Chain A
Amino acid sequence: MNLLGLTIAQYAMILAGAGALVVVFYLLKLRRRRVAVPFAKLWEQVLMEKQATSLLQRLRRVLSLLLQLLLLWLLVTALADPREEEETREGRDMVVLVDTSASMRAKDVDRGDGRIGEARAWLRRAIDNLGTQDRMMIVQMDAQVVPLTPMVDDRLVLKRGIGRLRASDTEADFPRALRLATDVLEPGREGHVILLSDGRLGEPRDQLGPVDLAGAQLHWVKIGRGGRNVAVSGFSVRRYPIDRSTCEIFLEVRNTGGQDERAELTLVGDGQELMVRRLTVPQGQSVSLTLPGQQAASRTIEARLSLVEGQCQDDEDCDQGRCSGDGRCVRGDDQPADDRAYALLPERRPIRVLAVSPGNLYLAAALLLDEYLDVTEMSPEEYQDWLAGSPERGDELPYEVVIFDGLAPPPPPSGHLIYLGVEGEEPPVEIRDEVSGGIWFDNTQSRREHPILRYVSFGDFEVYRAAVTDPRPGDRVIARSEDRNPLLIVRESEDERLTTMLTFPLRNSDLPLRLSWPVMLMNTLAWYVEQDSGFISSHATGHPVHLRVPGEAESARVCGPPGCVEVAVHHGEAVFLPSRAGFYRVETEEGQMMVAANLTSPRESNVEPAEAVEVQSQAASDPPVMRAGVGGHIWLWLLMVAAGLVLFEWLTYHRRVTV
């Protein structure tokens, strides 16, 4: 037992001084108050009867003095803050890295709140048993490494830090957490890094190389014991380029558990259940599904995965699940984080198109393919009349895209343009000459990466007559003939007007007879109105999302499964980190966009805890001993005993037991 509050000499001096004071006061108290009475003889008669009890009285007086001295000893000893030997040894600095990655959401433990709950419970016990000289720091470790507390010995602060622990749907950034821990630990003090994790952390190595623990001792508290899990390991949806009302779904399901599983896949589109399918996934293997021709969803699609187990009559027969219509129990697996995946379909909205044409069946047919096109057809004469009257209607043109079929009249004040042939009253590009007969596209010179040319092949096209043009500075030629004559030119003007020019009239080629013609036209229209024609890729949780937002907003509001946050917009991009899988809505004053985020990490889907955690070829050891017992509360017990004695004395005095 050691004293932390006082030295032995101080303790002895205070005890002796105060004890002497108590004795002096006690003796002074023995000089009783003198009270005059008229006839003491009567009192003598009373006191003679009390003589028999005088011995007991004296004993009580001695007891009273002893009680006072005992109270004094209790108080002075409490002031001295006595501690057990174990508590008073040199303090330790402990950085507790709490794995809050997706794998810690697994429920393969006895506690209802899963692995993260078990980590919290361990932390609470550790904090309660923290030595007086020990300090601790709690760090949340997932895609971000966030210190939840400073390095303190204040139990209240540490327990508040526990309350802020939240498991995410991201991978743990183990190397970064280790580097933070080693940076925090002070040299010269005993440093410990304690991992609360299932051990699925990846290699302790980053771009700077392997992490050096710098003398700190690494400990690992293994959390989790393994269970059953099927995961949506891949999920994407895209529209068909030609028929955008339908889409195709690709999905991969992986069994990371310890046995073959039968799973139920549910697809939900725009909140409505689209399809339910059962599939068997062998242990450790994946099953891929391609679901073509899905028509029900227009914006969001969600895949949900459940385990299918034994037979049942009703829900009561199924533990933590439901009884399906075919009498089988359906329940979630031990890892809920990877049971759902999310995908977005390109947003559809009507595009107002003006087709100025003397009459072109191929053009009209292609424009009919997309039901979201609001097409107005005009003859060249009607266009001239319309154009002449447009200023009276204001500068705002009601059409987003104007297609000139084989003519080049003066363009309208705004709106994107498509020229099917550049010859006419006001050619959009300078025409030097004209070539005819046997003009072939040169596939090698086409810009295949341009959105207009997605799914388009010019391999066997022939153009009978085309203009020889000199593109303006800034124009991009994305398709040329074999003699390098520009055949397809795009222009992005400073006023954000987009222009696409075919240097030959549609009828002067066999392009309208090919599938590439309507595809190219749809691609062009989609590019103009910034609509991805077929596919929006989902984002991976834990990785930053850079999303270009419209307008010049300085901030955006991002709302998703974790809640809503305000993020800054930098260089036109809102950057945020999706920590949970799901749909995120990014709102600015100009409008809003949606983003889907998914957990597709095999490491996080693996619910089997690791066998060992190694850093620098050294295995992490068991956690350091936290001393149990009353801890630093001996003084408190002493005070309580003193209070109890005072209460006892008060009661006995006022009940005249001790007087």
Chain B
Amino acid sequence: MPILETIRRRISRLPPPPAAPPEDLFDERFLQKLEYLHLVSKKIFSGQVRAERRTRKVGSGVEFADYRDYAPGDDLRYLDWNIYGRLERLLLRLFEEEEDLHIYVLLDVSESMSFGDPVKLHYGMQVAAALAYVGLANLDRVSIVAVADRIVDRLPPARGKGRIFNVFEFLRSLRPQRETDLAAACRTFVAQNKRRGIAVLISDLYDHAGFEGGINALRYGRFETGVIQVFDRSEVAPRLHGDLSLVDVETGEAREVTITPRILKRYAEVHQQYRERIDGFCRDKQVAHFEVDTSVPFDELVLRVLRRGGLLR
């Protein structure tokens, strides 16, 4: 409801929503960069079989993956009798199942993503498009999901480079909206997507309910989770001074403050602590975490993601 949204912003004296993404967001130069990223990814992962990826799903594959305790009802063919002979324990052999890789790019489109120069959402769109291109080019199934306090929109899974323009079109249609509730959105996502795969969450992680809920939902849904945290430098060191009323762009809550250098310094410390907390959490949960500010070119970020491995290949 654009009219209602406009009225809400007027009442709350919030800045108008950012305009549509610029036309040159996915221009020819962008495509050239994507092709370059694809080539680089090939070089990094040369010798890999197309669509071959060991998933965490254990099943009827031929490559041993792990053991687990026997439970009634399990297929007795997979019992390891040698272990039983040595240890007198019934352990079931697990094998990795080979299947097509599903890549889910979850892009945060909440109001907080409308900040920054360039706008964080536009930056996130470029990163999402780049990851999608690499996945499509590797014949993986790529789906893009726009999340805020729920799933706002989604692009169904697709395969092949030729679908990249669908990706562009989908991304261009996205606008910042609603509050952030990653936990709710991710829970919905997990419930709707039975096929597990890689879930890359691109967000600023400014979630009033806590960023952990969303990541945990993905983890618990057995998605191989990666988090790309996007922020703008002006959020770390805002150029504010004097007596102000700070309004949260999502909730509309206002807080009066007189900005002094001491407060700015303290804010920078708090922001740093918040980012460290995210990083620590991801490290503890073995979630790949990439922190980037929007001044870093998106292709550099994607290369960083690719080189680090484990998330895409």
Q: Does B297 contact A (CB under 8 A)?
A: no
Are the C-beta atoms of B247 and A32 separated by less than 8 Å?
no
Q: Interface code B248-261, partner A: CB below 8 Å = 1, 0 otherwise?
A: 11110111111011
In this complex, the interface size class of chain B, counting residues with CB under 8 Å from chain A, is 35 or more
Are the C-beta atoms of A47 and B255 separated by less than 8 Å?
yes
Q: Give residues 17-68 of A contacting B (CB, 8 Å).
A: 29-30, 32-47, 49-50, 57
Are the C-beta atoms of B253 and A32 separated by less than 8 Å?
no
Q: Nearest Cβ distance between residue B132 and chain A, in whole angstroms?
A: 25
Note all chain A residues with C-beta closer than 8 A to B78.
Answer: none
Known contacts: A38-B206, A39-B112, A42-B274. The answer to whether A50 contacts B246 by CB under 8 A is no
Q: Nearest Cβ distance between residue A42 and chain B, in whole angstroms?
A: 5
Known contacts: A39-B206, A39-B248, A42-B274. The answer to whether A32 contacts B256 by CB under 8 A is yes
Are the C-beta atoms of A32 and B245 separated by less than 8 Å?
yes
Known contacts: A42-B267, A46-B266, A57-B258. The answer to whether A36 contacts B206 by CB under 8 A is no
Q: Does B20 contact A (CB under 8 A)?
A: no
The interface centre, meaning the residue of B206, B246, B271 with most chain A CB atoms within 10 A of its CB, is B246
* Assembly CA distance A43 to B243 (angstroms): 14
Are the C-beta atoms of B243 and A33 separated by less than 8 Å?
yes
Q: Interface code B84-109, partner A: CB below 8 Å = 1, 0 otherwise?
A: 00000000000000000000000000
Note all chain A residues with C-beta closer than 8 A to B30.
Answer: none
Are the C-beta atoms of B206 and A46 separated by less than 8 Å?
no
Are the C-beta atoms of B255 and A38 separated by less than 8 Å?
no
Q: Does A659 contact B (CB under 8 A)?
A: yes
Q: Does A571 contact B (CB under 8 A)?
A: no
Complex A-B, nearest 10 residue pairs according to Cβ-Cβ distance, in ascending order = A40-B248, A39-B206, A38-B112, A34-B13, A32-B245, A38-B115, A36-B249, A34-B245, A32-B243, A46-B266
Known contacts: A34-B13, A38-B206, A40-B253. The answer to whether A656 contacts B243 by CB under 8 A is no
Majority SS at the chain A contact face = helix
- Binding-face segment, B158-166, B215-223, B234-242, B304-312: B234-242
Are the C-beta atoms of A46 and B13 separated by less than 8 Å?
no
* Assembly CA distance A30 to B258 (angstroms): 11
* Assembly CA distance A47 to B244 (angstroms): 12
A39-B206, A50-B263 known; 5 new pairs, CB 8 Å cut-off, are A36-B14, A36-B15, A38-B248, A41-B208, A659-B258
Note all chain B residues with C-beta closer than 8 A to A42.
Answer: 267, 270-271, 274
Note all chain B residues with C-beta closer than 8 A to A49.
Answer: 266
Are the C-beta atoms of B242 and A33 separated by less than 8 Å?
yes
Are the C-beta atoms of B261 and A656 separated by less than 8 Å?
yes
Q: Interface code B199-235, partner A: CB below 8 Å = 1, 0 otherwise?
A: 0000010101000000000000000000000000001
Note all chain A residues with C-beta closer than 8 A to B243.
Answer: 29-30, 32-33
A-B contact pairs, 8 of them (CB 8 A): A32-B243, A36-B247, A38-B111, A39-B112, A39-B235, A40-B255, A46-B270, A47-B255
Q: Give residues 178-213 of B contacting A (CB, 8 Å).
A: 204, 206, 208
Contacting residue for B263 out of A32, A33, A38, A46, CB 8 A: A46
Residue of B nearest to A30 (CB): B243
Q: Does B68 contact A (CB under 8 A)?
A: no
* Assembly CA distance A44 to B262 (angstroms): 15
In this complex, the interface size class of chain A, counting residues with CB under 8 Å from chain B, is 20 to 34
Q: Nearest Cβ distance between residue A651 and chain B, in whole angstroms?
A: 16
Q: Nearest Cβ distance between residue B82 and chain A, in whole angstroms?
A: 56
Known contacts: A36-B14, A38-B112, A656-B260. The answer to whether A43 contacts B245 by CB under 8 A is no
Known contacts: A29-B243, A34-B247. The answer to whether A43 contacts B274 by CB under 8 A is no
* Assembly CA distance A42 to B273 (angstroms): 10
Q: Nearest Cβ distance between residue B250 and chain A, in whole angstroms?
A: 8
* Assembly CA distance A656 to B258 (angstroms): 11
Note all chain A residues with C-beta closer than 8 A to B240.
Answer: 35
* Assembly CA distance A422 to B274 (angstroms): 144
Note all chain B residues with C-beta closer than 8 A to A41.
Answer: 206, 208, 248
Are the C-beta atoms of B267 and A43 separated by less than 8 Å?
yes
State the B residues within 8 Å of A (CB).
12-15, 111-112, 115, 204, 206, 208, 235, 238, 240, 242-251, 253-258, 260-263, 266-267, 270-271, 274
The interface centre, meaning the residue of A34, A50, A57, A659 with most chain B CB atoms within 10 A of its CB, is A34
Contacting residue for A32 out of B12, B115, B244, B250, CB 8 A: B244
Known contacts: A32-B243, A38-B206, A41-B208. The answer to whether A47 contacts B248 by CB under 8 A is no
Q: Nearest Cβ distance between residue B310 and chain A, in whole angstroms?
A: 29
* Assembly CA distance A33 to B14 (angstroms): 11
Residue of B nearest to A43 (CB): B246
* Assembly CA distance A126 to B193 (angstroms): 102
Residue of A nearest to B111 (CB): A38
Known contacts: A32-B256, A38-B115, A659-B258. The answer to whether A46 contacts B245 by CB under 8 A is no
Are the C-beta atoms of B270 and A40 separated by less than 8 Å?
no
* Assembly CA distance A38 to B233 (angstroms): 12
Note all chain B residues with C-beta closer than 8 A to A37.
Answer: 238, 246-249
* Assembly CA distance A656 to B253 (angstroms): 27
* Assembly CA distance A659 to B240 (angstroms): 14
Note all chain A residues with C-beta closer than 8 A to B245.
Answer: 32-35
The interface centre, meaning the residue of A30, A40, A44, A656 with most chain B CB atoms within 10 A of its CB, is A40
Residue of A nearest to B235 (CB): A38
Contacting residue for B246 out of A30, A40, A45, A57, CB 8 A: A40
Note all chain B residues with C-beta closer than 8 A to A29.
Answer: 243
* Assembly CA distance A33 to B258 (angstroms): 11
Are the C-beta atoms of A659 and B112 separated by less than 8 Å?
no
* Assembly CA distance A38 to B244 (angstroms): 15
Residue of A nearest to B257 (CB): A47
Contacting residue for B249 out of A30, A38, A656, CB 8 A: A38
Residue of B nearest to A38 (CB): B112
Are the C-beta atoms of B256 and A38 separated by less than 8 Å?
no
Q: Nearest Cβ distance between residue B243 and chain A, in whole angstroms?
A: 5
Note all chain A residues with C-beta closer than 8 A to B246.
Answer: 34-37, 40, 43
Q: Nearest Cβ distance between residue A658 and chain B, in whole angstroms?
A: 10
Contacting residue for A656 out of B12, B115, B262, B270, CB 8 A: B262
Note all chain A residues with C-beta closer than 8 A to B12.
Answer: 34
Q: Nearest Cβ distance between residue B292 and chain A, in whole angstroms?
A: 16
Q: Nearest Cβ distance between residue B277 and chain A, in whole angstroms?
A: 11
Contacting residue for B244 out of A34, A39, A45, A656, CB 8 A: A34
* Assembly CA distance A154 to B35 (angstroms): 89
* Assembly CA distance A49 to B246 (angstroms): 16
Are the C-beta atoms of B255 and A45 separated by less than 8 Å?
no
Q: Nearest Cβ distance between residue B120 and chain A, in whole angstroms?
A: 8
* Assembly CA distance A39 to B253 (angstroms): 10
Q: Nearest Cβ distance between residue B85 and chain A, in whole angstroms?
A: 59
* Assembly CA distance A656 to B267 (angstroms): 17
Residue of A nearest to B180 (CB): A39
Q: Nearest Cβ distance between residue B129 and chain A, in whole angstroms?
A: 23
The interface centre, meaning the residue of A38, A47, A49, A659 with most chain B CB atoms within 10 A of its CB, is A38
Note all chain A residues with C-beta closer than 8 A to B112.
Answer: 38-39
